[in-house]
Structure 1
Amino acid sequence: MGRVLVVDDDEVIRQLIAVNLTLEGFDVYTAFDGQDCLDRVREVDPDVITLDVMMPRLDGWETATKLRTDPRTTHVKVVLITARAQEDDKRRGLGIGVDSYLTKPFDPAELIQVVRDLAVAAKSGSRSPEI
């Protein structure tokens, strides 16, 4: 189905996302913050990254920006999953170039569908659906 790197500093949320995606057939890897994500991304080579925004060391905004500006990771699809639900936050995500934006609490079925669609897009090399 595809490889997903789940990044969240909250262990419960990280495991919830990982279990749901594993049950759907994804190969799932985890990271506890943005810096850990950047350290692991090249070894994992994910199709999709689910990325929390508010994290220690390196937040999701900075992590997404680094992923988008590094030629080795620009192809990876990024889903921001955050409690930050303001339109300004969504516009900021679009400006960075994230592929999708989900707010917490999220519907696990919606998350699975978004990740599935992005994984398919990643495999086909096509553009992502709009946020």
Structure 2
Amino acid sequence: MSGASGRVLVVDDSKGIRQLIKVNLELEGLEVVTAVDGAECLDVVHHVRPDVITLDVVMPRLDGLSTAARLRADPRTRGLPLAIISACTQYEVESGLDAGVDAFLPKPFEPDELVRLVKGLLERSDRRDGVCSGG
């Protein structure tokens, strides 16, 4: 396999942050789909079928922690690696862990930190697929 491969669903209400994440991941050969908030994420997740989802915490309609909890409650998305990319407080980190979030990246972040985090989650996702394929 040459380079990284995988599809990432980036959920953030800030257009600038969505673009920053998208560009950095696409430079690594990843496919990136974006959503503006948790509600849109839940609308598109089954169509998009991402390998990893990144979530902001503070968003209109449905915040990142509630979105994570709903993704974990759905058998079709329960195993998806989830990362919170936000200016996280300790409370948000603890709440995120309770909701089943796999990783956290505080804003502002370095692009190489973002890439390392997402690639790590993709590797975990690949291993999980190998163990339990066929849905």
Residue 61 of structure 2: aligned partner: 57
* 2:111 is the counterpart of 1:111: no
The whole-number CA distance in structure 2 between the counterparts of 1:75 and 1:89 is: 21
Residue 95 of structure 1: aligned partner: 98
Give the counterpart of 2:51 among 27, 31, 47: 47
Residue aligned with 1:117, SS: helix
The whole-number CA distance in structure 2 between the counterparts of 1:72 and 1:58 is: 19
TM-score normalised by length of structure 2: 0.90
Q: Deviations over 1:39-67 (max 9, x none)?
A: 01001111100100000010101100000
Residue 107 of structure 1, CA deviation: 1.3
% identical equivalent positions: 54
Residue 42 of structure 2: aligned partner: 38
Residue 88 of structure 1, CA deviation: 2.0
Residue 73 of structure 2: aligned partner: 69
Number of positions where the alignment pairs a residue of Structure 1 with one of Structure 2: 125
* 2:87 is the counterpart of 1:83: yes
Indicate the structure (1 or 2) with the bigger Cα radius of gyration: 2
Which AA in structure 2 matches 1:79?
A
Which AA in structure 1 matches 2:84?
L
Residue aligned with 1:125, SS: helix
Which structure 1 residue ranges, 5 or more long, are not aligned?
Answer: 127-131
Residue 89 of structure 1, CA deviation: 1.6
The whole-number CA distance in structure 2 between the counterparts of 1:87 and 1:54 is: 15
The whole-number CA distance in structure 2 between the counterparts of 1:87 and 1:35 is: 24
Residue 123 of structure 1, CA deviation: 1.1
TM-score normalised by length of structure 1: 0.92
